[in-house]
Chain A
Amino acid sequence: MSKNKTATDKPGKTGKWTRRAFIGAGVVAGSALVVGVAVRQGNPIDRLSPLLTNGENEQLLNAWVKVDTDNIVTAVIPHVEMGQGVYTALAQMLADEMDADWNKVRILEAPADMQYVSDSIARDFLAPDLDVPAIFEPTVTGGILELAQAMGLQFTGGSYSVRATGQRAMRTAGAAAREMLVAAAASEWQVPAGEITTADSMILHAGSGKSEPFSKFALAAAEQSLPAKPMLKSPENYTIMGQPKARHDIPEKVDGSAVFGIDAQVPGMKYAAVRATPVVGATIESMDASTAKTMPGVLQILNMGDFVAVVADGYWQAQQALNSIDTKYSKSEGDSLDQDALFARYATHLDEAGDDGGDMETETGDVGKGFADAATKVEAEYKVPFLAHATMEPMNCTAWVRDGKCDVWSGHQAPVNARQAAADAAGLPFEDVTYHNAYLGGGFGRRSESDAIIMATRIAKATGYPVKMIWSREEDTAQDHYRPSATSRFRGGLDKDGKAVSWDNIHTHLFDPKDAPTVPYYNIASHKIRKVDVPTQLRFGPWRSVDHSQHGFFIESFVDEMAHAAGKDGYAFRRELLAGSPRHLKVLDTAAKMSGWGSALPEKHGRGIAFVPSFGSIVAQVAEVDMSGAKPKVKKVYVAADPGFVINPDGFTAQMESAIAYGLTAALYGEITLKDGKVQQSNFHDYPMLRINEMPEVEVALINGDHKHLGGGGEPGLPPIAPAVTNAIFAATGKRIRELPLSKHSIA
Chain B
Amino acid sequence: MIKLNVNGQSREVDVDPATPILWVVRENLEMPGTKFGCGIAQCGACTVHLDGKPIRSCSTPISAAEGKSITTIEGIASEDGTLHKVQQAWIEAQVPQCGYCQSGQIMSATALLQKNPQPTDAQIDAAMAGNVCRCGMYNRIRQAIKAAAAIEQPAAQETVA
Contacts and interface: CB of A to CB of B under 8 A. Distances in A.
Contacts of B38: 473, 683-684
A258 B140 contact: no
Given A83-B96, A83-B98, A470-B36, A256 B74 contact: yes
Contacts of B132: 392, 684, 689, 691
Contact of B125 (A254, A263, A693, A697): A693
A265 B36 contact: no
30 contacts: A82-B97, A83-B96, A83-B98, A252-B99, A254-B83, A254-B90, A254-B95, A255-B87, A256-B74, A256-B103, A258-B99, A263-B32, A390-B134, A473-B38, A654-B94, A654-B137, A658-B97, A661-B138, A662-B136, A664-B136, A683-B38, A683-B39, A683-B42, A684-B40, A684-B42, A685-B42, A690-B136, A690-B138, A692-B133, A697-B139
Given A256-B72, A262-B36, A473-B39, A314 B139 contact: no
Contact of B27 (A271, A664, A689): A271
Interface residues of B, number: 56
Interface string B3-46: 00000000000011001100100011011111111111011010
Interface string A642-676: 00000000110010011111101100000000000
A258 B74 CA distance: 11
B134 A689 contact: yes
Main secondary structure of the interface of B (DSSP, over half): loop
A685 B134 contact: no
Contacts of B155: none
A739 interface: no
A440 B96 CA distance: 12
B131 interface: yes
A685 B40 contact: yes
Given A316-B23, A473-B39, A473-B40, A657 B136 contact: yes
B128 interface: yes
A394 B37 contact: yes
A440 B135 CA distance: 12
Interface in A252-311: 252-260, 262-263, 265, 271, 296
A262 B35 contact: yes
Interface of A: 82-85, 246-247, 249-260, 262-263, 265, 271, 296, 314-317, 319, 390-394, 439-444, 470, 472-473, 650-651, 654, 657-662, 664-665, 683-685, 689-693, 695, 697-698
A574 B46 CA distance: 46
The 3 closest A-B pairs by CB, nearest first: A661-B136, A256-B33, A83-B97
A314 B27 contact: yes
Contact of A392 (B33, B35, B91, B94): B35
Given A83-B96, A316-B23, A392 B138 contact: no
B139 to A, nearest CB: 6
B37 A692 contact: no
A693 B19 contact: no
Interface of B: 15-16, 19-20, 23, 27-28, 30-40, 42-43, 45, 72-74, 77, 83, 87, 90-91, 94-103, 106, 124-125, 128-129, 131-142
A683 B97 contact: no
A393 B97 contact: no
A254 B35 contact: no
Nearest to A695: B138
A729 B92 CA distance: 36
A246 B102 CA distance: 17
Contact of A692 (B19, B31, B141): B141
Main secondary structure of the interface of A (DSSP, over half): loop
**Residue among B30, B91, B98 facing the most chain A CB atoms (10 A cut-off):** B98
A473 B37 contact: yes
A391 B103 CA distance: 16
Given A83-B97, A473-B37, A691-B131, 6 more contacts: A250-B94, A253-B102, A255-B33, A314-B27, A315-B23, A391-B134
Contacts of B40: 473, 683-685
Contacts of A390: 134
A691 B129 contact: yes
A664 B103 CA distance: 24
A264 B23 CA distance: 14
B93 to A, nearest CB: 10
Contacts of A315: 23, 27, 36
A425 B69 CA distance: 44
